[in-house]
Amino acid sequence: MTVTAPDTTATTAATVEFRGLRREFGPTVALDGLDLTVRPGELLALLGPSGCGKTTALRMLAGFEHPDSGEVLIDGEDVTRVPAHRRDAGMVFQSYSLFPHLDALDNVAFGLRMRKVRTSERRARAAELLELVGLADKGGRFPHQLSGGQQQRVALARALALRPRVLLLDEPLSALDAKVRLSLREEIRRLQQDLGITTLFVTHDQEEALSMADRVAVMHAGRLEQCAPPAELYGRPATAFVAEFVGTMSRIPGRLADGGVEVLGQRLPVDGPVPAGPDVDVLVRPEAVGVRTDGDGSARVVATSFLGAAVRVTVRLADGTEVKADLPAHEAGGLGAGTAVTVSLPERPVLVAARTP
């Protein structure tokens, strides 16, 4: 897919701000005071489990939901009270959002028709957008004649047709096959970077968020947990929730002592906030855990699964805790189930969290 339509971009990329957004649906709190700023031209992923409020936040920016309190700003201008059809935000829905009675070209041209743009002009523009998403030859097809991936491309072209200042993507890939999902996600990212359009992307798939976004905002129970670039989110999660939601994390019981933490017979410095002690859990990534065959070791291998370059080994410690470790395939050769092993951590500061029962 080549991008040859620089005029698709709005004049300048926009800044989006959420300020103290709050919304309750009956007894459930969907948004509990959300503050978040999206920088001009960046792709920000809103990541979280279902019901964390990420979709509600996106729909508020589109104008489909209204906050009980708080405001939404685009380029510093309060749009909270602007009706949905006058917001400057193109949206791609989860699925099945194409109008069934219009062909692909007319779907893309729909917004221009609402603006009373002349027929020839809007058809030319729609054709240009279809070319942009690689469907130049599918303009005459109706939605039921297109595959799921093609439908979402048309939806993307439609969302861009009015040259919006913000692009909103509401889990646009979740209804697609794994393979289509991968290729379309690369295309969306490339298109977004070429157009330089400020984009909000809602997803519950952490891999999707980490691989596509400039920054990822992790949400939990209507609040923002952390907003950071993917590498920072993974390497230095700000809270225990982020640590466990993004990537795999094992909890190993430890004990706070002298400003450090005692764990697995080692004494390690603590990274980040220190919870009330003294009993805590130390959070470790599988690739940071060392596993060594040791006839005297008190830990036992429970299971191994082959992941390609690495082998994920699940080890049960003497106290019953299970720890996951990723080892290079050649190191994991002798580690069958039942092997006695010793588990160790690198001499680096570790994250600790309050002990969970």
Partner 1 sequence: MTATAVRVDSAPAAAVKRRRRSLGWLAVVPLLAFTALAFGLPALAMLDGAFTAKDPATGATSYTTGNLTASLQGAYLTALLGSVKLSAVSAALGVLLGLPLAQAVVTSRFRALREAVLTASGVLANFGGVPLAFAFVATLGNAGVLTRHLGLADQGWDLYSFWGLVIVYLYFLIPLMVLTITPALEGLRTQWREAAQNNGATPVQYWRHVALPVLLPSLLGGLVLLFGSAFAAYATAAAMVGSSIPLVTLQIADAISGNVLVGQENVALALSLDMVLVAGLVMAVYLPLQRRSARWLA
Question: Which positions lie near partner 1, rule CB under 8 A?
Answer: 62-64, 83-87, 89-91, 93-101, 110-111, 113-115, 144, 155, 158-159, 161-162
Instruction: Tell me how far apart the terminal alpha carbons of the chain are, to the nearest angstrom.
Output: 52
Class of residue 188 by CB neighbours under 10 A (exposed 0-12, middle 13-18, buried 19+): buried
Residue 110 DSSP SS3: helix
CB of 75 to partner 1, least distance (A): 19
What is the side-by-side order of every strand in the sheet holding 69-74?
Answer: 28-38, 16-25, 69-74, 77-78
Smallest gap from residue 61 Cβ to partner 1 (A)? 11
Residue 95, judged by CB atoms within 10 A of its CB (0-12, 13-18, 19+), counts as middle
Measured from the CB atom, the residue of 61 and 217 that comes closer to partner 1 is 61
Supply the minimum distance, in Å, between the C-beta of residue 197 and partner 1: 15
The nearer residue to partner 1, 114 or 354, going by C-beta atoms, is 114
Count CA atoms closer than 13 A to 102's CA, side-chain side.
17
* Nearest in space to 68 (alpha carbons), one of 16, 38, 32: 32
C-beta of 111: minimal distance to partner 1 in Å?
A: 3
CB of 114 to partner 1, least distance (A): 5
Structure tokens at 81: 């009270």
Comparing CB distances to partner 1, the nearer of 98 and 195 is 98
The tokens 């580690």 sit on which residue? 335
Burial bucket for residue 76 (CB in 10 Å: 0-12, 13-18, 19+): exposed
CB of 164 to partner 1, least distance (A): 9
Q: Whose Cβ is closer to partner 1: residue 161's or residue 270's? A: 161
CB closer to partner 1, 86 vs 348: 86
User: Exposed (0-12), middle (13-18) or buried (19+): which is 214, by Cβ within 10 Å?
Assistant: middle
Q: How far apart are CA 197 and CA 163, in angstroms?
A: 9
Nearer of residues 62 and 323 to partner 1, judged by Cβ: 62
Tokens of 140: 């005459």
What's the closest the beta carbon of residue 64 comes to partner 1, in angstroms?
Answer: 6
Compare residues 71 and 88 and give the one whose CB is closer to partner 1.
Answer: 88
Side chain identity, residue 100: P
Of 144 and 348, CB closest to partner 1: 144
Min dist CB 122 to partner 1, Å, is 12
